[in-house]
Amino acid sequence: MVGGLVHTRFKGRGCLPFFAWILNPLVVLGGEMAGNYDMIVAAFVFMSVLFLSERRYSVAIGLFAVSVALKFYPLILLPVYLLWGKSNRRRWFILGLAALSGAASYIYWASYYARDFMASFMLPSGNPFVFHPSEVLLTPLRQ
């Protein structure tokens, strides 16, 4: 999908380096084995910026909302979206709605997984931002 956008947008220039990176076994297996889906988020951010540059604001903001729903780091680009082109109320409303929908999905996730997240503070990994299901299975219950 992203490769097709690169090919159509840049008329074939830069496709070989793009595919060399995206099909790199280290990138593919590292993302799959570690459960790291940053490549998917980066693809949504890339497509969002691409559609923003083509002045297709509704599609760009929709893709931006999906990327924020998956991870929070695309919010770094929020000022770019706010300052891009001529500002009007409709764009502010749609952008605010996109940011709120992404934040709402994150709050829903946090409410659903808060117990696991808090349990990770007391588990052997020592890192509260890393949760391994094996830690729960191998840690004896404390009473």
User: Which tokens go with 51?
Assistant: 């559609």
30, pLDDT greater than 80 = no
**131 within some domain:** no
Measured CA to CA, the distance from residue 64 to residue 84 in angstroms comes to 14
- Residue 133: is its pLDDT beyond 60? no
| Residue matched to tokens 């709402």 | 104
Q: For residue 124, what pLDDT is reported? A: 55
Residue 66 in domain: yes
Judge whether 115 lies within some domain. Answer: no
Whether 134 contacts 123, CB under 8 Å:
no
Question: Residue 134 is encoded by which pair of tokens?
Answer: 């094996």
Express each pLDDT in 86-131 by its tens digit: 667 777 777 777 778 877 877 777 777 766 666 655 555 555 555 5
Domain around 86:
37-102
Q: Which amino acid is at 29?
A: L
Nearest-angstrom CA–CA distance, 4 and 15: 9
pLDDT of residue 87: 63
Q: How many domains does the chain have?
A: 1
Assess if residue 139 is contained within a domain.
no
pLDDT at 107: 78
- Asked, for residue 21, whether it belongs to a domain, the answer is no
Give residue 131's pLDDT.
Answer: 52
pLDDT of residue 49: 83
91 with 97: CB under 8 angstroms?
no
